[in-house]
């Protein structure tokens, strides 16, 4: 994977966190559930862009509307489209930006990002707020893994051999950043945001899956 430490400086991080706060005021964090077991994930989510990723008892999928409010997702901020253009090397714009919010005790188990029809496009993700330990494995759940700490402002690109690699978040280090303290109504406990930009459909083809 490509890790770009400190890609966003503190001014850009603050501006982007403000855009995310606007998004969350229109499209509040929802509680995703593991489809087969119905257990809640510890991360809460929202999205912006034409499509959003959701997880509930009927499965994982992309859809154009918020699962609780039924409203379309807010548009993707221009800063995210620009960032994608600068780092993805991909011909077409992203269609979904998943907003993950990690409260201090949240984590994300090892998984692959593979609900996209287009797996040639990279996945680009941006970290804001508390640092977190990101784990990257190979193309099977059992293989060896490696880990790296992601700090606020870091960008990660999953591309090539790592596009479908297993990955997850082991833990967040509470209190390691004060960025989200700027929005106490949304993030009273601080924590971490991760924005994951994805191309969902193959350019020129209509279907989501």
Interacting residue ranges for ligand AKG, rule: CB under 6 A: 98, 100, 108, 113, 125, 127, 134, 150, 167, 169, 194, 196
Within 74-113, which residues bind Mn ion (CB under 5 A)?
A: 113
Distance in Å, CB of 66 to ligand AKG, minimum: 17
Q: Kindly state the tokens that stand for 130.
A: 């508390």
DSSP string, 113-128: ----S--SS-EEEEEE
The total number of residues written for the chain in this structure: 209
- Beta-bridge partners for 66: none
Residue nearest to Mn ion (CB): 113
| From ligand AKG, Mn ion, none, interface partner of 47 (C-beta below 5 to 8 A by class) | none
Query: Which strand (E) or helix (H) includes residue 84?
Result: helix 78-87
Query: CA 34, CA 145: separation in Å to the nearest integer?
Result: 23
Distance in Å, CB of 111 to ligand AKG, minimum: 7
Residue nearest to ligand AKG (CB): 194
| From ligand AKG, Mn ion, none, interface partner of 200 (C-beta below 5 to 8 A by class) | none
Distance in Å, CB of 167 to Mn ion, minimum: 6
| From Mn ion, ligand AKG, none, interface partner of 121 (C-beta below 5 to 8 A by class) | none
* Cβ pair 59, 76 in contact under 8 A: no
Sign of CA dihedral 4, 134, 98, 153: negative
* Cβ pair 8, 126 in contact under 8 A: yes
Distance in Å, CB of 85 to Mn ion, minimum: 21
115 is a contact residue toward Mn ion (CB under 5 A)? no
């Amino acid at each position: 994977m490509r890790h770009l430490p400190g890609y966003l400086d503190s001014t850009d991080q603050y501006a982007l966190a403000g855009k995310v706060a606007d998004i969350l005021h229109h499209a509040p964090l929802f509680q995703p559930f593991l489809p087969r077991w119905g257990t809640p994930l510890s991360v809460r989510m929202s999205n912006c862009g034409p499509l959003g990723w959701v997880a509930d008892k009927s499965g994982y999928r992309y859809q154009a509307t918020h699962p609780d409010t039924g409203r379309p997702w807010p548009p993707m901020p221009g800063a995210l489209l620009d960032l994608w253009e600068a780092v993805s090397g991909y011909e077409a714009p992203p269609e979904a930006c998943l907003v993950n919010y990690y409260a201090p005790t949240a984590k994300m188990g090892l998984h692959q990002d593979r609900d996209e029809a287009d797996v040639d496009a990279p996945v680009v993700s941006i970290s804001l707020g508390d640092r977190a330990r990101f784990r990257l494995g190979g193309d099977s759940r059992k293989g060896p893994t490696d880990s790296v700490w992601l700090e606020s402002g870091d960008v990660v690109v999953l591309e090539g051999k790592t596009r479908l690699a297993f990955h997850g978040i082991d833990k967040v280090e509470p209190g390691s950043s004060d960025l989200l303290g700027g929005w106490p109504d949304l993030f009273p406990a601080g924590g971490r945001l991760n924005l994951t930009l994805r191309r969902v459909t193959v350019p020129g083809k209509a279907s989501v899956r």
